[in-house]
Amino acid sequence: DGGITQSPKYLFRKEGQNVTLSCEQNLNHDAMYWYRQDPGQGLRLIYYSQIVNDFQKGDIAEGYSVSREKKESFPLTVTSAQKNPTAFYLCASATGTKETQYFGPGTRLLVL
C-alpha cells in the first residue's frame, strides 16, 4: 500500500533531550512538510522540503531541525531549545507545487 507512515505513535521527551520523529512516504512525492497541531490552533507549518537536500523554515521553526537526505524520508528533530514541545505532529507530502497534501497518522509528543 502506498502512503505516509509516522513513527512512533507516542513519544516521550525528558528535559534537555532531543528527540526525532520519523516520516516516510512511498508515494514518490517530491515535497514533504511537518506541521504542529495544538488544540484550538489548527495546523502550523514547522519546516518543508520541495526536493532532496533542500528545506525551508515554516512559521514556527525555532527549536526544530530537519534533514532530507532521501526523497522518501523527512525526519524532524525536536531539540531541547523547544520549550513547549507537547503537541501532535503531522507529516504530509505532495507531488509538488500546487498539489494536494496528503497526511500521515501523526505522532503525539509528551514531555515527562
Partner 1 sequence: AQSVTQPDIHITVSEGASLELRCNYSYGATPYLFWYVQSPGQGLQLLLKYFSGDTLVQGIKGFEAEFKRSQSSFNLRKPSVHWSDAAEYFCAVGPTGGGNKLTFGTGTQLKVEL
Residue number, 75 or 106, with CB nearest to partner 1: 106
User: How far from chain centre, in Å, is Cα 39?
Assistant: 17
Q: Interface with partner 1 includes 53 (CB under 8 A)?
A: no
- Which one, of 57, 55, 83, 59, lies nearest residue 70 by Cα? 55
Gap between the Cα atoms of 37 and 44, Å rounded: 6
Instruction: Pick from 66, 76, 87, 94 the residue near partner 1 by CB under 8 A.
Output: 94
Binding-site ranges for partner 1 (CB under 8 A): 4, 6, 31, 33, 40-45, 48, 50, 56, 58, 88, 90, 92, 94, 96-106, 108
